[in-house]
Amino acid sequence: MKYFFLAGLLVLSLRLSAQAPHIKDLGFISGNWVMQHEWGDMEESWSTPMGNSMMGSFRCVKDGKPLFYEFMLIEQTDSMPVMYLRHFNPGSIGWEDKDKPHVYPLSLLEKNKVVFEKADKKLRLMFVRKDEQHLTITLDEDGKETVFDLRLK
């Protein structure tokens, strides 16, 4: 009887740990993504998960000149992946204070879909891999959504 109880605890433990969000499940956003938008030509690149982290970069170019850049990190914490984001003007001039990146804890993870949301719930980023060649990123600022439909470069 004792062995059945221990086996049951082991199975329950494995199921609970399998349900915890982990950065290794975010590989579906990896790739070099591009689109043309009213803001300009956009390019966003994401590395594959490695060392409990992912790196992302973004640039927006209009009329052949860069408007701004973003540098993003997703790092695995004890409980979930968290995205850190910073903006830069040309010349690597940062918008945010050096010790205050935007912080977006993971709020939802499903197959081919992840949502990161600021603690105040005023801004969230949703990534959906529609198919092998398309990634949709939705920026939701206080209920105003901007949708970016990117294709694999």
Structural contact between residues 150 and 127, judged by C-beta atoms closer than 8 angstroms: no
Number of domains in the chain: 1
Distance of CA 134 to the CA centre of its chain: 15
In a domain, 111, yes or no: yes
Look-up of token digits 């439909």: 149
Within a domain: residue 109? Answer: yes
Q: Within a domain: residue 106?
A: yes
CATH number, domain with residue 29? 2.40.128.20
pLDDT in tens, 86-141: 999 999 999 999 899 999 999 999 999 999 999 999 999 999 999 999 999 999 99
pLDDT tens per residue across span 3-21: 544 444 444 444 444 578 9
Within-domain flag for 121:
yes
CA distance 69 to 133: 23
Closest-CA residue to 41 (of 49, 53, 52, 33):
33
Rounded to the nearest integer, the mean pLDDT of the chain is 90
Residues in the chain: 153
User: Quick one: pLDDT at residue 19?
Assistant: 74
pLDDT of residue 138: 98
Parent domain of 114: 23-152
Task: Assess if residue 13 is contained within a domain.
Answer: no
- CB–CB of 116/125 below 8 Å? yes
Single pTM value for the model: 0.85
Whether 120 is covered by a domain: the verdict is: yes
User: How far apart are alpha carbons 97 and 120 in whole angstroms?
Assistant: 19
Longest Cα separation, the chain: 73
Residue closest to 81 by CA, chosen among 116, 50, 122: 116
Give the sign of the dihedral formed by CA 31, CA 102, CA 111, CA 78: positive
